[in-house]
């Protein structure tokens, strides 16, 4: 499996550096963030194994293909011209939508994309096991959004350390809240927790309580 590391001031610059080395396009790779700092981001970019993607069918592959066909049909009914592919090596099943001018399909803070994902899972309901779900992504929006909310988390943590006061962030989707919790999990001074009910569930960033003795 071919891979390369990329460095840059931002996530996009780091990914682009690795893509140039690999001679691949963004839709053909998976990206893993190795480290992030104020001046440099380091990523590992892995080329998707197309041979594996086209191999023998399995129950999971069958579900993934059913989901892909469903989303493709929904997009056609919406008048959206785009390509839908199954991202390999992921659990849960993840569908990537690629094309031109897809900002409207994402919507404000991903609201339209979240609605499309919800409809997809409802329509696939009988084909999915209990607790199983399908993730729908547009041009790696989720990855870019995770990077953005990690920066929000770090800025909030700095403010909490300066003032000592907790900060309640805007309502976020589950994957965004998870990115914030992961960003702050190793901070000895600042912690995070979620409050409220969906779709208005929010993250509170505040001073970490000292461990009881």
CB distance 135 to 117 below 8 Å: yes
CATH code of domain 51-139:
3.30.300.20
Confidence of residue 52 (pLDDT cuts 50, 70, 90): very low
Asked whether 89 and 30 are in contact (CB, 8 A), the reply is yes
Q: What is the pLDDT of residue 9?
A: 87
Contacts of 5 (CB under 8 A, 6+ apart): 18, 34, 42, 43, 44, 45
The 8-class DSSP code of residue 157 comes to H
CA atoms within 13 A on the CB side of 71: 31
Residue range 144-207, CATH number? 3.30.1370.50
Instruction: For tokens 């190793």, name the residue.
Output: 186
Has this prediction a pTM greater than 0.75?
no
Buried b (16+ CB within 10 A) or exposed e, 67-98: bbebbbebbeeeebebebbbbbeeeebbbbbb
Give the start-to-end residue ranges of the domains of the chain: 3-48, 51-139, 144-207
Highest mean pLDDT: which range of 5-14, 36-45, 47-56, 158-167:
158-167
The span from the CA of 94 to the CA of 96, in Å, is 7
* Residue 31, token pair as written in the block: 């990206």
Q: Which of 43, 51, 9 is nearest to 26 (CA)?
A: 43
Does pLDDT of 57 surpass 80? no
Strand pairing partners for 193? 204
pLDDT in tens, 155-194: 999 999 999 999 999 999 888 999 999 999 999 999 999 9
What is the chain's Cα-based Rg? Answer: 19
123: region left, alpha or beta (phi > 0 left; psi from -120 to 50 alpha)? alpha
């Amino acid at each position: 499996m071919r891979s390369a590391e990329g460095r840059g001031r931002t996530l996009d610059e780091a990914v682009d550096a690795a893509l140039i080395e690999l001679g691949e396009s963004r839709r053909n790779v998976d990206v893993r963030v190795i480290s992030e700092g104020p001046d440099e981001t380091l990523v590992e970019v892995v080329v998707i194994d197309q041979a594996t993607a086209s191999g023998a069918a399995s129950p999971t592959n069958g579900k993934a293909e059913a989901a892909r066909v469903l989303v493709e049909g929904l997009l056609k009914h919406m008048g959206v011209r785009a390509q839908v592919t199954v991202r390999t090596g992921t659990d849960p099943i993840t569908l990537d939508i690629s094309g031109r001018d897809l900002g409207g399909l994402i919507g404000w803070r991903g609201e339209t994309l979240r609605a499309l994902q919800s409809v997809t899972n409802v329509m696939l309901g009988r084909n999915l096991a209990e607790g199983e779900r399908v993730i729908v992504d547009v041009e790696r929006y989720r990855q870019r959004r995770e990077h953005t909310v990690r920066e929000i988390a770090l800025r909030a943590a700095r403010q909490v350390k300066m003032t000592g006061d907790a900060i309640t962030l805007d309502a976020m989707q589950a994957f965004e809240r998870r990115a914030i919790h992961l960003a702050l999990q190793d901070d000895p001074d600042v912690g995070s927790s979620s409050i409220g009910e969906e779709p208005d569930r929010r993250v509170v960033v505040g001073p970490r309580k000292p461990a009881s003795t």
